[in-house]
Structure 1
Amino acid sequence: MTVTFDNSYSRLPDRFFVRMQPAAVAEPGLIAVNAPLSHRLGLDPDLLAQPDWVAIFAGNAVPDGAAPLAQAYAGHQFGGWVPQLGDGRALLLGEVVAPDGRRFDIQLKGSGPTAFSRRGDGRAWIGPVLREYIVSEAMAALGVPTTRALAAVTTGEVVWRETALPGAVLARVASSHIRVGTFQYFAARGDSEALRLLADHVIARHYPDAETPLDLLDRVVAAQARLIARWMSLGFIHGVMNTDNMAISGETIDYGPCAFMDAYHPEKVFSSIDQFGRYAFNNQPQIALWNLAQFASCLLPLMGEEGPAIEAATASINRLPEIYGDEWLRLFRAKIGLATEEPGDRALIEALLSRMAEGRADFTRTFRGLAEGTAAAEFAAPDAFEGWATDWQARLAREADPKATLATANPAYIPRNHRVEEAIRAAVAGDFDPFHRLNAVLAHPFERCPEAEGYDAAPGEGEVVTRTFCGT
């Protein structure tokens, strides 16, 4: 199979990246090829599963037309400035244009050390590769803008973390891998020419209706506001919202210590490295605002006279809470079965969330239970739900078809942490069946089916996952 690459990012000046080849591995082996995504890209999944392409996904070969490179970027990590980060364990193979005209990056993650590895090995063990595959594909099925997993392969080599673990590589697809940190890299160096080239590239690629850097800022603010609202509506915690992990495209990127909540708690943290809760669940909207303020600062040199530019950029950033709030309310209205708008809806939603936190109710099962009549069972004290349900039923009486709204807004299946860990443990032992079964269930998160029995269950005693890890 010949893949036609059109590598627009590699046509930018050399200071945007370092050209290099992936590091070969001992024995490439196929874990999975994503057939629906392959078709979306105009590729044949059966051919992608053949040894020639398994070797490409592992880094042992480079396809004709590819232009492998490690992208340069900087970033704030947990609020601390790092002037040079870059792709330390990933290489952008190149860009393909899908049959519908949309452009996508294909990147190898875990493909060996690069010029930006910072003394790291550039490799990935099988755990974070499978976690990203599972969660990113689940997010896509849930309707969340996200990077995707095209394929996962084993390397036949050992990766050392706390112990020896089997190595793997993820082939990741994204609208682009350009980050807030990409702009920060050039802004910190006072490179206005590079900032202009980068802004023009992003506008052409992602926001063709934008005519100015301020327009670009407006579009990115709106995209991120809606993205974070979607996360919040699903109980998703990214876990490491550094500026180098925020994509300009508005897609969720860099699934490291991410997790979906089981029992609802607004201050929930899973990430083992988030010791002070900077990226806790309820902090995510504010962190998005902070990150976008850094992006706005990068664009100021392109926006004309300093005073008016600062004023305009500030006004753009300050629109995020309103856009986010409107989208949050729209999503949560649907989650409680409301297709129309009334002034008291926000208070009704917030009252439910407050009772869920007090009652240690499971986030996903409670909202799905609103459609199936089982929500009260999720509360430690069911009376707490019944008190709220009286007001809710009165509000539903003014809706035309609340059951349809509830069923399409609330998934039955999410990537439960204990299920993800179960799949990883089995894979380390050489058994990929739990991984494949979990992916099959999560591909249809809103549809009840007999084959998925038990996959909607909250973790039992001894199954609760309290910490998640980056894998680097």
Structure 2
Amino acid sequence: MSVSSAYRPDPRFAALGPEYGDVVSSAPFGELKLRIRNDRAAASVGLETLTDTEWVEHFGRFTPLPGQPGPIAMRYHGHQFRQYNPDLGDGRGFLAAQMREVATDRTSIEETSRLLDLGTKGSGTTPWSRGGDGRLTLKGGMREVLAAALLEARGVSTSRTLSLIETDERLERNDEPSPTRAAVLVRLSHSHIRLGTFQRAAFHRRSDMIETLIEHVRSLYHPHVAAGDVPGLLTAVVAANARLAAGWVAAGFVHGVLNTDNLNVTGESFDYGPWRFLPFYDPGFTAAYFDQSGLYAFARQPEAVFWALTQFAGCLKLVDDSDAGVQALTDALNGFGPAYIAELRAAFLRRLGVSSVGEAADQRLMDTTLALLREGGETLGWEPLFHDWFGGFASSARAVAGPRARLYQGKVFDDFRFALFEHEPDRPERLEQAVFAAPDPEDLLIDEVEVLWAAIDTDDDWAPLNAKLMRIETLRGALAG
């Protein structure tokens, strides 16, 4: 076994016992082809030293890694488009392993570092498959790889795709041409414990299970919260998800399916389905063709996240339904609005590459940015503005000489420019990166996704996808500085 010496298994979820998850096995796949191997993510948990053969064995056939108990299908419930469903759970995935993040910089290996999960998608049926085949289309896997990569590059909290392996199966689907190719995906996340995990315990009126989950989540994911401080835990989960919602909006991202089983206690994007990035400012833009009411439209995402958090708060109420306890939870929940606005201001500053100069000025910059995006519409698009003006006034010459120069005039633009010039560039040396010399941004609109898939589907040509991922990685490095 060639895991590195930095690999530290720590399977905490399994210790909760069988009421929280079911021991399962992966599907007996035939031929497997390794398509995507994320060694940067693997290095963060000491797995980059695996050979390709070992990689496929552990992430395609799911032979347990050292010190791991084997796959566990996690139990949870959830609201799907605000309709409660008690028949959910890991139906085509499972928790494959948990380990500690590799110590970095001055952190010693003896010190506690983050607990990370390996979770799967398309790994076979479980007791919660509800008649499904437990599989993942190769196109769905490719789309998750892309979404996670670009969101990470744009600074949004997200799971990372560790592995994508094509199987030899052909799947029948009613929402894409069939038969279609299949795959199994492994993602690396801070946690797969969903808001719906708590909902299941509440549904069964198991306050003891909720108490166990509270301490499990507090100690592992929000250790700054004192033991027994339930409102404090809610405050932490609210803050994490407010940051997530703000990150999505600033990134122009639409998740598509913000059910309570698709939001977790650490505030990470995960389980990507019908996602989209905005082509241009459109508050009503939806990602899922089946979201006919626009419940999870772009501008309604903060509302959807808050609604989900109210369901989570209702679960916590089962451990203390006194007037004082309920009021404390209500106060914590009501912190979402102010936290979201503060996080949105910060997210817009990051996207524009400038530093904060105070709440009033930061708010003015966010408001004028949105106004310019609104006025620019389809002509300007969403992402080009952030590309052209990254670094603030340090990019003035670049922006006014670029392909969208004619759009940068008039009163709305002047308001944006004056607000932008109030802010100093944050690490202006980043502008020396080659990505900012390009006339257009590295974006990921649906037409490009379809082109990348067509090359794979028609010619088994993975070069365009790999090139795209390399460009996104270059962008991530440039923005990170």
Flag whether TM exceeds 0.5 (same fold). yes
Partner AA of 2:160 in structure 1:
R
How far, CA to CA, are the matches of 2:206 and 2:170 in structure 1?
41
Q: Which moved more, 1:246-255 or 1:412-421?
A: 412-421
> Paired residue for 2:96?
93
> Paired residue for 1:171?
186
Q: Which moved more, 1:228-237 or 1:3-12?
A: 3-12
Give unmatched runs, 5+ long, in structure 2. Answer: 104-112, 390-394
| 1:368 aligns to 2:387 (yes or no) | yes
| 1:290 aligns to 2:307 (yes or no) | yes
> Paired residue for 2:110?
none
> Paired residue for 1:273?
290
> Paired residue for 2:221?
206
Partner AA of 1:297 in structure 2:
G
Partner AA of 2:186 in structure 1:
A
> Paired residue for 2:162?
150
Q: Retained in 2: the 8 A contact 1:147–1:251?
A: yes
- CA offset at residue 309 of structure 1? 1.8
Partner AA of 2:223 in structure 1:
P
Give unmatched runs, 5+ long, in structure 1. Answer: 450-472
Q: Retained in 1: the 8 A contact 2:156–2:247?
A: yes
Q: Retained in 2: the 8 A contact 1:126–1:427?
A: no
Q: Retained in 2: the 8 A contact 1:289–1:320?
A: yes
- CA offset at residue 187 of structure 1? 0.5
| Residue number among 46, 51, 54 corresponding to 1:52 in the alignment | 54
Q: Provide Cα deviations, 1:36-90, integer angstroms capped at 9, x if missing partner.
A: 1111111225x24x22321332236444533211000000000100013000100
How far, CA to CA, are the matches of 2:360 and 2:101 in structure 1?
44
Q: Retained in 2: the 8 A contact 1:28–1:54?
A: yes
Q: Provide Cα deviations, 1:359-418, integer angstroms capped at 9, x if missing partner.
A: 322111022122331599559x837x432232334344544447939959x983233322
| 1:27 aligns to 2:31 (yes or no) | yes
User: In 2 relative to 1, CA 60–390 (structure 1 residues): closer, same or farther, beyond 3 Å?
Assistant: closer
Q: Retained in 2: the 8 A contact 1:223–1:249?
A: yes
> Paired residue for 2:246?
229
> Paired residue for 2:468?
438
> Paired residue for 1:74?
77
Please give the residue correspondences for 1:414-453 in structure 2 after superposition, counting only pairs within 5 Å.
414-429=443-458, 430-445=460-475
How far, CA to CA, are the matches of 1:194 and 1:157 in structure 2?
39
User: In 2 relative to 1, CA 149–399 (structure 1 residues): closer, same or farther, beyond 3 Å?
Assistant: closer
| 1:187 aligns to 2:202 (yes or no) | yes
Match of 2:286, SS state, is coil
- CA offset at residue 91 of structure 1? 1.6
Q: Retained in 1: the 8 A contact 2:364–2:419?
A: no
Q: Report the count of equivalent residues.
A: 443
Q: Provide Cα deviations, 1:78-122, integer angstroms capped at 9, x if missing partner.
A: 010001300010021121223223221112210111100011000
Instruction: Give TM-score, length-normalised by structure 2.
Output: 0.86
How far, CA to CA, are the matches of 1:226 and 1:191 in structure 2?
30
How far, CA to CA, are the matches of 1:98 and 1:333 in structure 2?
29
Q: Provide Cα deviations, 1:234-291, integer angstroms capped at 9, x if missing partner.
A: 1011111100000111111111111111111122112112111000111011111111
User: In 2 relative to 1, CA 406–234 (structure 1 residues): closer, same or farther, beyond 3 Å?
Assistant: farther
Partner AA of 1:92 in structure 2:
L
Q: Retained in 1: the 8 A contact 2:365–2:419?
A: no
Q: Retained in 2: the 8 A contact 1:23–1:60?
A: no
- CA offset at residue 146 of structure 1? 1.0
Q: Retained in 2: the 8 A contact 1:94–1:105?
A: yes
Partner AA of 1:382 in structure 2:
L
How far, CA to CA, are the matches of 1:406 and 1:390 in structure 2?
25
How far, CA to CA, are the matches of 1:418 and 1:313 in structure 2?
44
How far, CA to CA, are the matches of 1:174 and 1:200 in structure 2?
19
Q: Retained in 2: the 8 A contact 1:339–1:405?
A: no
Match of 1:84, SS state, is coil
Please give the residue correspondences for 1:240-251 in structure 2 after superposition, counting only pairs within 5 Å.
240-251=257-268
The alignment's C-alpha RMSD in Å is 2.5
- CA offset at residue 335 of structure 1? 4.3
Q: Which moved more, 1:80-89 or 1:359-368?
A: 359-368
- Larger relative contact order (Cα-Cα within 8 Å, sequence gap ≥ 6): 1
Please give the residue correspondences for 1:310-389 in structure 2 after superposition, counting only pairs within 5 Å.
310-336=326-352, 337=354, 339-341=356-358, 343=360, 345-360=362-377, 361-370=380-389, 371=395, 372-374=398-400, 378=404, 382=407, 385-389=409-413
Q: Retained in 2: the 8 A contact 1:368–1:375?
A: no
- CA offset at residue 348 of structure 1? 4.9
Partner AA of 1:431 in structure 2:
D
Match of 1:316, SS state, is helix
| Residue number among 97, 113, 116 corresponding to 2:125 in the alignment | 113
